[in-house]
């Protein structure tokens, strides 16, 4: 059975996705992260600060949500069993926020398209997983080559950086993924360096 935070997070994402299917673009309009600027010339994320989190509950299709929820199930459950739900929640939502900020600062702000998906949070959890279980074998979907978790994360992060800088794969928030890794690392450092009474 899935631990509670991972299970509830997957359920929440599925419920929101079903609402998306019913309400069309209304949820995306209000709750996606929009890197462009509003009528006042201010970034839309500043005008709608909740979107720094809410964008992570929206998805662009069945394959998009299926891949993200599979990753949450695969990596989040094991992290939660070691860290507990509170620490996992902190790492996940910190990664969501740092992913949003990275995309706003480094991603294209001229396209005006929305940023949606749980990928930034997933990347943060993936980094924590690699720090907790560096030598555990991971079998990526592509390429299907078994490798240690730490190698998998390093290669994946390098690929995201290259794709983000070159712009070869458009329509994907590569900087949000990289920002998610930073969020996971920050929470990891916090829990290992800050005195227990400050947590």
pLDDT of res. 47: 65
User: Residue 175 pLDDT more than 80?
Assistant: yes
Residues 6+ apart with CB under 8 A from 103: 33, 35, 115, 120, 173, 175, 176, 179
Question: Within a 13 Å sphere around the CA of 152, how many CA atoms are in the beta-carbon half?
Answer: 25
Residue 135: name the closest of 143, 147, 126 by CA: 147
pLDDT digits (tens, 9 = 90+) for 61-94: 999 999 999 999 999 999 999 999 999 999 999 9
Mean pLDDT of the chain: 89
List the chain domain ranges: 4-198
Q: Which CATH class is domain 4-198?
A: mainly alpha
Residue 155 and residue 138 in contact, taking contact as beta carbons nearer than 8 Å:
no
pLDDT band at 187 (very low <50, low <70, confident <90, very high): very high
Angle at the Cα of 68 from the Cα atoms of 164 and 184, rounded to 5 degrees: 65
Q: What is the pTM of this model?
A: 0.90
pLDDT for 194 beyond 80:
no
> Which residue did the predictor score with more confidence, 15 or 34?
15
**pLDDT number for residue 45:** 64
């Amino acid at each position: 059975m899935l631990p509670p935070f991972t299970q509830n997070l997957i359920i929440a994402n599925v419920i929101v996705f079903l609402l998306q299917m019913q309400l069309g673009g209304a949820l995306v309009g209000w709750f996606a992260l929009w890197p462009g600027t509003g009528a006042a010339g201010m970034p839309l994320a500043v005008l709608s600060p909740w979107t720094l989190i809410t964008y992570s509950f929206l998805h662009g299709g069945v394959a998009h949500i299926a891949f993200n929820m599979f990753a949450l199930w695969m990596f989040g459950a094991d992290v939660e069993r070691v860290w507990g739900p509170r620490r996992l929640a902190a790492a996940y939502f910190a990664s969501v926020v740092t992913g949003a900020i990275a995309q706003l600062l480094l991603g294209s702000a001229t396209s005006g398209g929305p940023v949606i998906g749980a990928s930034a949070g997933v990347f943060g959890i993936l980094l924590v997983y690699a720090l907790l279980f560096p030598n555990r074998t991971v079998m990526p979907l592509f390429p299907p080559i078994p490798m240690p978790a730490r190698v998998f994360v390093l290669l994946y992060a390098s690929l995201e950086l290259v794709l983000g800088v070159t712009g070869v794969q458009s329509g994907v928030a590569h900087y949000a993924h990289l920002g998610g890794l930073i969020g996971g690392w920050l929470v990891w450092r916090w829990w290992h360096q800050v005195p227990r009474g400050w947590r």
